[in-house]
Amino acid sequence: MKKHLAVLAATAVLGVTSAFAANPFSDVTPQDWAYQAVAQLASQGIVNGYPDGTFKGQQNITRYEMAQMVAKALVRQDRVDAEQNAIINRLANEFATELNNLGVRVSTLENKVGNFAFTGDARLRYQNRKVENKDKSETYKSKFDYRARVQFDATVNDNTKAVVRVATEKEFGQNDKDNTTKASVDHVYVQHNFGKYVTATAGRQDLVIGNGLVYDDYFEGAVATVGKDKLNASVAYGYLQGGSYINEAGKKVEFDKAERKDNSQVTVYQLNTMPTEKLAVKGFYADVHEKGVNSVYGASVDAKLGSKVWVGGEYAKQETKGAAGEAWTAGLGYGEADMAKAGTWGAKVQYFDLKKEAPVVSNTWNLNDQNRNYRGYLATVDYTVAKNVGLSAYATFDSKKKDDNNKSVDLPEYYRAELNYKF
C-alpha cells in the first residue's frame, strides 16, 4: 500500500479534521490529491516524515511505519465512534508484533488472543442485618460470600460481536453437597451495529429500567437502541429473569425459580437524554403482556451541582393501583469513586418510599429484599483503594413498613461491605 493511501484511510478511521492544517513536507504540494489528509495527520502528530523534510508518499508503507500510526491511533480511541474503534482494534491485533518491538505497551491488547478479549471481576462481600426474635430481643445475622465473573468478547466482524460471561457465587462455610459453586453462564448475547446510530442485542443480557428502581437484573430477549449518548431511545422485548412480582392470584413469583408459563413477556420503552453535561433525564414505560398485571411507567433525573455535588431521584407507578402502586427515591451525594484512579471516593444518602403495591421487581440497591411496603434511608460510601480495586459500604437506617392495621412498624436495619476487583 502506498503511503498516500494509508494516510487517507487513517483520516477516515480517526475522524481527524483540521481545516487549516499546515503541510510540513517539501514533497507534498497543494496539487497532490492526498495533500489535505497528509497535512491533517501531520498536524495531529500521527504521521512523521524523514529527516530531510520529505514524506515520500509514493513509496510503499512499511509494517513498521503502519504500526507507528496504529500506536498513535490507539491513544485517540476515546474520541472515535464504535465502528472506528472496531477498525483500530483490528489493526492493533494485526500489528501487535511490531507494536511490541516498538516498545508500545497497549493495554487494549494485553487480554486479547486473536479476535477474543476477556475481562472480569471478583467480589468479596459481608452482609449483616438485625433480626427480631419472638421474645422481642434482637440478634444479628451475618454472612460472607464471594462472586467471580469472567466475560469473553468475540469479534465476529467490524460491526458484530458475541459475548459470553461465566459466573460463580457461594457463601463462605456453606455446605457444597448440592454443588452450589458450579459455574453458570449468566450472559450470552450477540450485538450488531447498524451504522453509527443503531445497535441491536439479542440473548441473555443485563437490563436496567430507568435508574434501576424498578429493575436492574438479567433479561432474555432483544434490545434495539437508536441514537448516541446524549439522546437515545431503546425498545426491549422478552422476559425478566431476576427479582419477583405478585401475580393476579396475589402469589409472589420469583423469576429465577419460575417456570416458563409463569413468566410473561414484557416490552420496555425508554428515552434517555442529556440536555447538558450536568443533567440527565430518563423516561420509561414497561408493557406487561399478561391479563391482570399492570404496566409501569416512570422517570428519573440526575443533576450535577458544580463538579462534586449530585442530586437525583426516580419515580415509578403501577397503572390503576393509585397511590398504593407508587415508588420513589431521592438523594444527595458528594464526589465520585473512579475505579481507574486510586484515592477517589464518593458518598450518597438516599430516601426510598416503596408502597405496598410498588412496581419494584429487582432494584439496583438490594435493600435487604425490601421491594415493597418499605420506607427508609440508605447511606453508601465508595472508595478506590488502588487501581481497579474498590471498597463499598452500605447501611440502611430508619427503615419502616405499614402493618395490616396501617400502623408504622420498625424494620431491621441492613449493612453490607464489598471489596471489588476488576481485571
**pLDDT values of the chain reduced to their tens digit, one per residue, 423 residues:** 444 445 445 554 455 544 444 555 454 455 554 445 445 555 555 555 555 555 455 566 566 566 666 676 666 666 656 666 666 676 677 666 766 665 554 444 444 445 778 889 999 999 987 666 666 556 667 889 999 999 999 888 888 999 999 999 888 887 766 556 678 899 999 999 998 899 999 999 999 999 999 999 999 999 999 998 889 999 999 999 888 776 666 667 677 666 666 677 899 999 999 999 899 999 999 998 877 678 999 999 999 999 899 999 999 999 888 888 999 999 999 999 999 889 999 999 999 999 988 999 999 998 766 778 899 999 999 999 999 999 999 999 999 988 777 788 888 889 999 999 998
The per-residue pLDDT for 218 is 92
CA distance 415 to 144: 12
The per-residue pLDDT for 223 is 97
User: Angle of helix 63-75 relative to helix 3-14, nearest 10 degrees?
Assistant: 20
Q: Could you tell me whether strands 414-422 and 389-402 are parallel, antiparallel, or unpaired per DSSP bridges? A: antiparallel
**What DSSP string runs through 48-72?**
---TTS---TTSBPPHHHHHHHHHH
CA distance 380 to 394: 5
Amino acid, single-letter form, for residue 7: V
| 113-422: CATH architecture | Beta Barrel (2.40)
Which stretches within 267-364 are classed as H helix? Answer: none
Residue 162 burial by Cβ neighbours in a 10 Å radius (0-12, 13-18, 19+): middle
Domain boundaries, the chain: 3-110, 113-422
The per-residue pLDDT for 410 is 87
The per-residue pLDDT for 36 is 53
Amino acid, single-letter form, for residue 296: V
